[in-house]
Structure 1
Amino acid sequence: MLWIAVTGVLSQVAVLWPSGASEAASQAAATPPAGFQCPEGWRCMPPRGDSSGIRGMVGLFHHLHSGETFGPIGTAISVLSGLALVFFSISGIWLYVQMWQNRKSRKLSPRWFWK
């Protein structure tokens, strides 16, 4: 699960990393080529400037994060890790509510955190 968390953060950081491209260069990149027409039902977006450096690694981070790099086994492990995160989140909230209700039924002051 640590692998999923780290590669997920890296993929987002790489997308948000400043490209270093000037405003004029990004405006030029935003202009579609002559004769280009966006297919119906699609939302076409211009490229996000310079794709060198860490921004060029977005695809690598995505493949590591999704497990695609390691084949079907990696993808299965990635899906199972995601399901485990959902399970632990829900069960943690459920345990906290149970402890809260138990403390309340014993006439102790309900607090957010207790000893």
Structure 2
Amino acid sequence: MRKWHRWLSVFFGVFMLWIAVTGVLSQVAVLWPSGAPDPAAQAAATPPPGFECPEGWRCLPPRGDTSGIRSMVGTFHHLHSGETFGPIGTTISVLSGLALVFFSISGIWLYVQMWRFRSDRKLAPRWFWK
């Protein structure tokens, strides 16, 4: 198990780093403060032509702020999911997700094996080894 864990981590480590960075960037872009007007000004704005708000609903106009880093959300999502690189990118993204599941399970498995080995040798129980 340790051999597989080591060899797969060499290959998938690069892709998982890519997925982690683009995922963080997509969230930062969404949470980035915008220069949108205050809610009272948005409520006073007129709806787009042809739009009718259903009766009993309070409708706000769509957010008009698509400048700056917020305009990159779609790009970050496509990079994150691998869609930018076509079917091969999507396949690598899915395989990287499956590899992450494998690393989680095999890492726990390896830790339990080390824990048992340590207790079988009657060594002091510790959470982490030096």
TM-score, scaled to structure 1: 0.78
Q: How does 1:34-113 map to 2 (within 5 A)?
A: 34-37=51-54, 47=62, 50-113=65-128
Higher relative contact order (CA 8 A, sep 6+): 2
Cα RMSD for the two superposed structures: 2.7
C-alpha change, 1:2 and 1:58, in structure 2 (3 Å) is: same
1:20 positional shift = 2.4
Please state whether the residue corresponding to 1:51 is helix, strand or coil: coil
1:77 positional shift = 0.8
Q: Find the aligned partners of 1:101 and 1:113 in 2 and give their Cα distance.
A: 13
TM-score, scaled to structure 2: 0.70
Correspondence for 2:10: none
Instruction: Write the deviation string for residues 87-114 of structure 1: whole angstroms up to 9, x where unpaired.
Output: 1111111111111111112111111112
Identical positions, percent? 83
Q: Which has the larger radius of gyration?
A: 2
Q: Find the aligned partners of 1:107 and 1:46 in 2 and give their Cα distance.
A: 69
C-alpha change, 1:26 and 1:92, in structure 2 (3 Å) is: farther
Structure 2: gaps (5+ residues):
1-15, 55-59
